[in-house]
């Protein structure tokens, strides 16, 4: 039996909107959701599996611009993941040196 909490599509869309201007940690704290859920929702959005109602603003983009936007979003996710790993490693090293 799954213990994962179900969130409405509207809630997820609002979380995605907040992620455009805030960090994952800030949104997770503000909405009281796990960071892993936010990362998963953003990955799903970047992969085109989910959409936000205001996605119509991107209709004017050319195919090349959409592809670039998609690749840049994927890069941001990768860089944020790498940053989280480095933060954890730095904390680990700090504990080891005490």
* Structure confidence at residue 87 as a pLDDT band (50, 70, 90): very high
- The number of residues making up the chain comes to 98
What is the C-alpha separation between 53 and 34, in angstroms, rounded? 23
Instruction: Sketch the domain layout of the chain as residue ranges.
Output: 9-96
**10-60 pLDDT tens trace:** 888 888 888 887 889 999 999 999 999 999 988 888 777 776 655 555 667
> How wide is the angle at C-alpha 47 spanned by C-alphas 6 and 45, nearest 5°?
45
DSSP state of 4: P
Residue 33 and residue 22 in contact, taking contact as beta carbons nearer than 8 Å: no
pLDDT at 85: 93
Please state the pTM of the whole predicted model.
0.51
Residue 41 and residue 12 in contact, taking contact as beta carbons nearer than 8 Å: yes
């Amino acid at each position: 039996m799954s213990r994962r909490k179900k969130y409405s599509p509207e809630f997820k869309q609002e979380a995605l909107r907040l992620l455009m201007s805030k960090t994952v940690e800030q949104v997770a704290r503000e909405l009281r959701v796990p960071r892993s859920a936010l990362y998963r929702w953003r990955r799903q959005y970047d992969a085109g599996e989910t959409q936000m109602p205001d996605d119509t603003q991107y209709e004017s983009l050319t195919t090349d611009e959409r592809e670039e936007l998609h690749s840049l979003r994927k890069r941001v996710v990768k860089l944020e993941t790498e940053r989280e790993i480095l933060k954890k490693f730095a904390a680990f090293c700090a504990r080891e040196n005490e």
